[in-house]
Each structure stands twice: as C-alpha cells, then as structure tokens.
Amino acid sequence: MADLSFLREMARKLRVEILKMLTKAGSGHTGGSLSAVDIVTALYFYKMRHDPKNPKWEGRDRFVLSKGHAAPLLYAVLALCGYFDLSVLQTLRQINSPLQGHPCCKSLPGIEVSTGSLGQGLSVANGLALGLKLNRSLSRVYCLLGDGEIQEGQVWEAAMTASHYKLDNLCAIIDNNDLQIDGACREVMNIYPIDEKFKAFGWHVIKIDGHNMEEIITALDEAEQIMNKPSLILAKTIKGKGVSIFEGKAKYHGVAPTSEELEIALKELNNGKN
C-alpha cells in the first residue's frame, strides 16, 4: 500500500522546487505546473517502474508530458528522483542549460520525447504503447495532457487511434484545471463534457479529484486492470494549487513568481517550517 504521507511530502517538496526554479528563471508556467504536482508525484514515486540511474532501462514505464509547458514540474520530479542534481534546476531557461523552456529529450535524461507544441503527445504515447506491445513488453505508458490542450484536433485523432488499437497499456491523464491563457476553458472554447467525449471514443474514464492522493493512486491502479481499451483519468484540479495567491488565476498560467511572491509561497508551503 502506498505511503500517503510520504507522497504528500514529496508533492510539497516538488512545489517548493518548482517555485524556486521559476523565480530564478524569471519566466515560465507556474499555474499548470502546480496543478499537476500531485498526479506527477503519484506517477514517479508510486506507480511508474523507472530507474533514475538507468534512464533508458527497457523495462521502464514511459511518461509523456504532452502539456510541455509544465516542464518545471517534470524537471523537478526528475531531479528529486535522482536523474540529475537538484542544483541543475537553477539553470532553467538559461542559455546552454539542458532545462529548455519546454522539454527536449536530446538534452536531458529521463525525457522520452520533446514536447511543447500542444496536442501532439497523445499520438506519441500511442506509438510507444504500440511499440511496447510489439516488443511483448509489460511496460505501461502515461500521458499527461492539459484541458485546454484537447482543443487541438490531433488529440481526437489520437483518441480514436488508442481505442482502435485497444491500447490497454496506455493511461492518459487530463489536468482539468479549467483555465487556459486567455481565460476559462468553457469561455475560450468549450471543451465539456470531457468524460462523455472520451467514453464515446471508446475509453475507460475515471473521474477524480486531482489533488487527493488516495484517489489518484486508486485511479492509477484501476487503469492498470482495464483490458482491451485505453484509460483516461480525468483529474479535476486547481491551477496554481498549493499557493493561495496563485490558485485559480489564469494570470499565473505563463508568469513566474516574483521574489516577494516566492517568499509568501514558501512560507505557506513550509507551513512555518524552513
């Protein structure tokens, strides 16, 4: 059984690292990195088989960050797992840094594929899942998408493909924080109902609170049991989760914290501790 308090502590640490690296960089995507922290923590510290000392290990599960702008989240979790030194996080977005503004698989271990242009990750995850099946591998593929991202048509092409090829080794997760750069998703271009759409495309859909660690791990376990169809975890989340001054604000989609904001945020996350 999962150690929930350990996972919650790792999630807290992740938030701290994300905010510190974003503040140092002076730009980047705060809101959408924080909203998916709990999901990504559960993946890397509970569910996925992976080896930070051997990033290309054949038997690993694959993670595709389709919402590539949440790169700080991916970098922070890889560093906390030990793929590279935590100090590297401080080079985010600087020239010659392996931590590009959006993930580049050629420059950093642990990144499966370069992402950043929205709508493309699910197709790659499908290809990985097909390839793993051909290789008779038991590895699974996880793909994290943004909710605004599903406005891209390619996502629905890929949704058809995953179902058509019965990719039960694939689990997509939508970080449903309800906000995109220009505002609320339903106002910019209505994406709802997401669950009904994926069900109609032949997916097994699990709806959860994306900040409830117990619900996240239960959903990940359930997805693994589903046969002959892909699974979608539709995770209701809050943009900027964990720091009150950022929560639910579209403004913090693509803006880094100021040093004053960082101080407030760290105080809240550290809950009086240092």
Partner 1 sequence: MGKTECTLSMSKVSLKDFFGKDMATRDAYGHILVELGKNNPHIVVLDADLSCSTKTALFAKNFPERFFNMGIAEQDMMGTAAGLALSGKIPFASTFAIFATGRAWEQIRQTICYSNANVKIVATHGGITVGEDGATHQALEDVALMRVIPTMTVIVPADAYETAQCIVSASEYYGPVYIRLGRAKVPSILPEEYNFKIGKAYIFKMGKEVNIIANGIMLAEALKASEILNKDGISTGVINFSTVKPLDEESLLEIAKSSKLIITAEEHSVIGGLGSAVSEFLSENYPVKIKRIGVKDTFGCSGSWKELLKHYGLTAENIVKVVRENLK
Nearer residue to partner 1 within complex by CB, 19 or 74: 74
Nearer residue to partner 1 within complex by CB, 86 or 105: 105
CB of 116 to partner 1, least distance (A): 7
Q: Of the listed pieces 6-14, 72-80, 152-160, 208-216, which binds partner 1 according to CB under 8 A? A: 152-160
Nearer residue to partner 1 within complex by CB, 68 or 210: 68
Question: Using CA atoms, how far apart are residues 173 and 156, in angstroms rounded to an integer?
Answer: 14
Per CB under 8 A, the list member of 132, 191, 206, 262 interacting with partner 1 is: 132
Per CB under 8 A, the list member of 135, 190, 244, 258 interacting with partner 1 is: 135
The answer to the question of residue 166 lying near partner 1 (CB under 8 A) is no
Task: Identify how many contiguous H helices and E strands the chain contains and give both numbers.
Answer: 10, 7
Per CB under 8 A, the list member of 101, 116, 202, 248 interacting with partner 1 is: 116
Per CB under 8 A, the list member of 17, 38, 61, 112 interacting with partner 1 is: 112
The answer to the question of residue 161 lying near partner 1 (CB under 8 A) is yes
Q: Of the listed pieces 14-22, 106-114, 191-199, 227-235, which binds partner 1 according to CB under 8 A? A: 106-114
CB of 237 to partner 1, least distance (A): 25
Per-position b or e across 183-216, b if 16+ CB within 10 A of its CB: eebeeeeebeebbebbeebebbbbebebbebebb
Residue 82 zone, left/alpha/beta (φ > 0; ψ -120 to 50; rest): left
CA distances from 124 to 39, 56, 117, 216 (A): 20, 17, 13, 23
CB of 214 to partner 1, least distance (A): 31
The answer to the question of residue 105 lying near partner 1 (CB under 8 A) is yes
What does DSSP say about strands 170-176 and 231-236: parallel, antiparallel, or unpaired? parallel
Q: Of the listed pieces 30-38, 129-137, 176-184, 236-244, which binds partner 1 according to CB under 8 A? A: 129-137
The answer to the question of residue 237 lying near partner 1 (CB under 8 A) is no
The answer to the question of residue 124 lying near partner 1 (CB under 8 A) is yes
Give long-range contacts, CB 8 A cutoff, 24+ apart: 75-80: 75/21, 75/99, 75/103, 75/108, 76/14, 76/17, 76/18, 76/21, 77/14, 77/40, 77/41, 77/44, 78/44, 78/52, 78/108, 78/109, 78/110, 78/111, 79/17, 80/10, 80/13, 80/14, 80/17, 80/44
Provide the binding-site residues for partner 1, judged by CB under 8 A.
104-106, 112-117, 120-132, 134-135, 153-154, 157-158, 160-161, 164-165
